[in-house]
């Protein structure tokens, strides 16, 4: 009996000893895995550590493939967008000349005829001129030689000197002087030498669309009512054809020319109204930027700088702003009063102030402002 008890006790001691060894080995394995995990994470952090890394940098890195895809699509579809602008504008002009102009000449008074002919053709000339200049004029690029420029930064992408207000365009794959943005509707960057052409095109195109929408409102209402009447008569004609008897006559039908006329008027009014709303908002946005003396890219930079200096109790001052009125004169190239007529109200290929490499005080500015970022 005692021998059995001793044997049972020995077996139990051996079993407890095995359990203790297994638990120690298990704890040792867990500790090794934890050490390997902390060591791997430390190595990864040491390899990828960057003091400038934040949420914006990580987000930009994640969206880099999307940016690459958008840049290449915009680059290849720029020609399609330009053709679309030319095609839609040409269709509106054709409708005005073929459908509306004969009606204006027959029904309007001589004074209104002279007004429509003068304003319409002037607006059309301004649209065509500024759009052609915007797509054919180079926005300006900095020289590649480092000896030509001093006191500037280096572009991280093209490894070339980058003057003030110059930014790299990932679509054109070049640095652009005073870059505002890359416009797919121009298939070109908007920069120092063609910024005025771009804004003038947006302004005169918006004015032309508003002019067509207001002038064609009554014609649009009549044309829309006529189209609804066409649909109703077409439905009645089909019912008469289905239940035709000898004493019933089908309702009159509209000719192809009448249908084309009414549908063209509706197409003109809807397209012009839509473009006037969309392009008008864009024009107002750029007008506000010009008033503040900054570009679309500089707006984001200046906003961050303003917030950073505000926390330190300082005031941000844009060194390229000379006041609202002087900013417009610098942008439009108005040096003397007659330039408002020859350079703003008439087509003018004059160059902007400066070369885009340095930003000296333009001669049209009335008073000089201290070029300080913070005071």
Mean pLDDT of 133-156: 79
Of residues 222 and 145, which shows the higher confidence score? 222
DSSP-derived secondary structure letter, 333: T
List, in order, residues 6 or more apart from 320 with CB less than 8 Å away. Answer: 165, 293, 294, 298, 359
Q: Which residues are catalytic?
A: 183
The answer on pLDDT for 372 being more than 50 is no
- Specify the pairing of strand 167-169 against strand 161-162: unpaired
Of residues 173 and 52, which shows the higher confidence score? 173
The answer on pLDDT for 68 being more than 70 is no
Q: pLDDT tens, 108-120? A: 899 999 999 999 9
- How does the average pLDDT of the chain come out, rounded? 83
From the DSSP assignment, how many helices (H) and strands (E) are in the chain? 11, 6
Measure the CA angle with vertex 182, ends 177 and 188; round to 5°: 85
d(CA 359, CA 320): 8
- Give Cα 333 to chain centroid, integer Å: 25
Residue 40 three-state SS = helix
pLDDT score at 271: 96
- Token code pair at residue 285: 């946005």
Q: What percent of the chain has pLDDT over 70?
A: 76
The answer on pLDDT for 369 being more than 60 is no
pLDDT score at 195: 96
pLDDT score at 144: 74
pLDDT score at 114: 94
The answer on pLDDT for 51 being more than 90 is no
Mean pLDDT of 182-193: 93
Predicted confidence band at 375 (pLDDT cuts at 50, 70, 90)? very low
Range among 102-106, 125-129, 159-163, 296-300 rated most confident: 125-129
Mean pLDDT of 269-275: 96
Q: What percent of the chain has pLDDT over 90?
A: 41
Token match 């001129």: residue? 129
Mean pLDDT of 290-304: 91
- Token code pair at residue 248: 């019933």
Mean pLDDT of 125-150: 86
Mean pLDDT of 320-324: 89
Token match 């060591």: residue? 39
pLDDT score at 188: 93
pLDDT score at 4: 63
């Amino acid at each position: 009996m005692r021998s059995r008890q001793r044997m049972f006790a020995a077996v139990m001691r051996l079993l407890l000893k095995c359990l203790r060894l297994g638990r120690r080995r298990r704890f040792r394995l867990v500790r090794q895995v934890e050490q390997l995990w902390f060591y791997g994470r430390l190595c990864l952090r040491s390899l990828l550590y960057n003091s400038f890394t934040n949420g914006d940098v990580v987000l930009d890195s994640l969206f880099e493939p999307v940016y690459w895809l958008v840049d290449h699509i915009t680059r290849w579809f720029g020609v399609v967008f330009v053709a679309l602008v030319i095609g839609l504008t040409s269709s509106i002009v054709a409708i005005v000349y073929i459908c509306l102009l004969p009606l204006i000449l027959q029904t309007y008074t001589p004074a209104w005829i002279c007004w429509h002919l003068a304003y319409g053709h002037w607006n059309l000339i301004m649209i065509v001129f500024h759009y052609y200049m915007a797509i054919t004029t180079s926005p300006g690029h900095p020289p590649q030689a480092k000896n030509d420029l001093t006191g500037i930064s280096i572009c991280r992408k093209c490894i070339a000197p980058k003057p003030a207000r110059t930014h790299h365009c990932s679509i054109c794959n070049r640095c652009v002087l005073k870059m505002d943005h890359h416009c797919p509707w121009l298939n070109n960057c908007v920069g120092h030498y063609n910024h005025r052409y771009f804004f003038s095109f947006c302004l005169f195109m918006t004015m032309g669309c508003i002019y067509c929408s207001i002038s064609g409102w009554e014609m649009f209402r009549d044309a829309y009512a006529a189209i609804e009447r066409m649909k109703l008569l077409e439905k009645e004609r089909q019912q008469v054809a289905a239940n035709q008897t000898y004493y019933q006559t089908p309702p009159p039908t509209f000719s192809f020319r009448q249908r084309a006329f009414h549908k063209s008027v509706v197409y003109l009014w809807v397209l012009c109204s839509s473009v006037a709303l969309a392009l008008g908002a864009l024009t107002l946005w750029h007008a506000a930027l010009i008033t503040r003396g900054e570009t679309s890219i500089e707006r984001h930079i200046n906003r961050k700088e303003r917030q950073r200096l505000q926390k330190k109790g300082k005031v941000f001052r844009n060194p390229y702003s000379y006041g609202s009125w002087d900013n417009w004169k610098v942008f439009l190239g108005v040096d003397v009063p007659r330039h408002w007529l020859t350079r703003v109200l008439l087509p003018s290929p004059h160059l902007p102030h400066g070369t885009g490499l340095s930003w000296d005080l333009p001669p049209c500015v009335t008073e000089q402002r201290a070029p300080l970022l913070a005071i």
